[in-house]
Structure 1
Amino acid sequence: MSDSTMAALHDELAGTYDENTFHATVADAVVDGLAAEPAPGLLLDVATGTGHAAFAALRLAPAAVLAVDISPGMLARAEAKAATLDPAGRITWRVGPAVPMPAEDGSADGVLCASSLHFLGAAALRDWLRVLRPGGVAGFSLPVASRFSPSRTFTMHVPADLTLPDSAEEAVAVATGAGFTDVVARRLDTDDDRPRSAFVVHARAPR
């Protein structure tokens, strides 16, 4: 799928994206797993969407957050919320591909990616190792394979180089196989009228 096609598809979703509260739940879980870390310098939010993980990351008191998404419509929604949720302007919003991230090698203390890696593929994991400092942390989510049912339009374009997990052990293997260390994963489920599931993974770049 071309960048312009992917951007257009997500632009169409932007107006109702926040109605799916599971996105915010996943973003909170991705960020909360990094809460024990010291206050970071630069955090990168990969494929930020409407900014759930970027806003949640402000709880970690970072010096700066760079949030990137290919969809102008998604970022417009994020920036509209920023006046209230980020009055100090610590988040920089940038339209563009999330792989590669527009960051220097070894410049980031942390990388966040909520509800998006399955559309980016294994190349994203390799890029995170590039941008992270030695020992830097990554937090991301992956759908549970047996419960993943995207629309036909998206199914046709999900990258084939990333195997979705059905267990926490398989989710850990996604990160260790890419070269991360100290990997932990847990399953996150909701029990509302539309049950949803994801694995939340935290890992560290080699020191």
Structure 2
Amino acid sequence: MVSAWGDRYARGFSEMAGVYVDLTRQATQLLDVAALDAGESVLDVGCGPGTATLVVADRVGPEGRVIGVDLAPGMLARASAATSGTATILAVMDARQLAFGDGTFDVVTANSVLQFTGRESLGEWPRVTRPGGRVACSIPYGPAMWFELCRRYVHRTSEPYRSTMQARLDTAVGPPDAEQARALWGFGAVGAVVERLVRRYDSADEAWESEYQHGARVFLEELPADALERFRAEYVEALLPEGDGGGVAIPFEFHYWCFTR
């Protein structure tokens, strides 16, 4: 059974599917960290429009097995088109509740998924990975200003949204901690790569629109229109000191992790 959050995720990301198509560089970096071999079986969780899934299929080759899952049918429609020349299997599925047996796959990949599914996913993903297999995930992190504004704002809004927003903030994650990964989820070796990047926009309004469409919408779209506008105004105002001649630069990090089961 899909939760209310899952319904919201599926609807929102189906509508935003086109925004996520051009993420090939991040997908390639993640799969470099995963070090895929020809013939491996790979599950791509939260596969989105198939950007990473297509690269996975190319790297494991025709002797490999690739399955991509996502909650958003709109994402899977694009993934189907992207991987049409491969033997990739696609399915609607919650990344936090995978319908596969223990130890089914050599590798599980998750490109920019963990920030939406929460840390409980790092218990589910290794379950379907064979002993000695790998779980590779990437997560964008930052800016801290975004999370600080969300935490301040949650106390200003009314129920039932306050509880919903607080719950999402409580499960929001930063980069996984290697020692925690070993202790809680039974991972062995941990490898990581960190990229420090800057998003540049012509204006604070353009920055808001991009950040909203790249995931914030899933958390904020249930706000009443006036409350969402107040949130947007505070976000834009907070960005203005970052500007240079009207432009906005937002520093953030992309973390790529590969855990050995």
The interval holding the TM-score normalised by the smaller chain is: 0.7 to 0.9
Question: The residue matched to 2:42 in structure 1 has which SS?
Answer: strand
Give the structure with the higher percent helix.
2
Q: TM-score, normalised by structure 1?
A: 0.80
Q: TM-score, normalised by structure 2?
A: 0.65
1:138 Cα offset (Å) = 1.0
Match of 1:81 in 2: 82
Match of 1:97 in 2: 94
Unaligned runs of 5+ in 2: 151-160, 202-250
Matched, 1:113 2:110: yes
Q: Distance in 2 between matches of 1:108 and 1:80?
A: 24
Match of 1:141 in 2: 138
Match of 2:259 in 1: 203
Match of 2:222 in 1: none
Aligned CA distance change for structure 1 residues 38 and 82 (closer, same or farther; 3 Å) = closer
Question: The residue matched to 1:29 in structure 2 has which SS?
Answer: helix
After superposition, what is the alpha-carbon deviation per residue over 1:59-107, rounded to whole angstroms, capped at 9, x for unaligned? 3225111100000011111112223xxx1x3211111212222222111
**Identity within the alignment, %:** 29
Q: Distance in 2 between matches of 1:174 and 1:159?
A: 19
Q: Distance in 2 between matches of 1:74 and 1:138?
A: 22
Residues 143 and 252 of structure 2 are in contact (CA less than 8 Å); yes or no, is this contact kept in structure 1?
no
Match of 1:160 in 2: 170
1:159 Cα offset (Å) = 5.8
- Paired residue type of 2:73: P
Aligned CA distance change for structure 1 residues 186 and 173 (closer, same or farther; 3 Å) = farther
1:188 Cα offset (Å) = 1.6
After superposition, what is the alpha-carbon deviation per residue over 1:131-150, rounded to whole angstroms, capped at 9, x for unaligned? 01100011101222445848
Question: The residue matched to 2:123 in structure 1 has which SS?
Answer: helix
Aligned CA distance change for structure 1 residues 149 and 75 (closer, same or farther; 3 Å) = farther
Residues 45 and 69 of structure 2 are in contact (CA less than 8 Å); yes or no, is this contact kept in structure 1?
yes
Aligned CA distance change for structure 1 residues 106 and 59 (closer, same or farther; 3 Å) = same
Aligned CA distance change for structure 1 residues 125 and 197 (closer, same or farther; 3 Å) = same
- Paired residue type of 1:130: R
Residues 46 and 113 of structure 1 are in contact (CA less than 8 Å); yes or no, is this contact kept in structure 2?
yes
Q: Distance in 1 between matches of 2:31 and 2:75?
A: 20
Question: The residue matched to 1:109 in structure 2 has which SS?
Answer: strand
Q: Distance in 1 between matches of 2:257 and 2:33?
A: 8
Question: The residue matched to 1:197 in structure 2 has which SS?
Answer: strand
Q: Distance in 2 between matches of 1:148 and 1:40?
A: 43
Aligned CA RMSD, in angstroms, stands at 2.7
Residues 38 and 59 of structure 2 are in contact (CA less than 8 Å); yes or no, is this contact kept in structure 1?
yes
- Paired residue type of 2:28: D
Match of 2:153 in 1: none
Unaligned runs of 5+ in 1: none
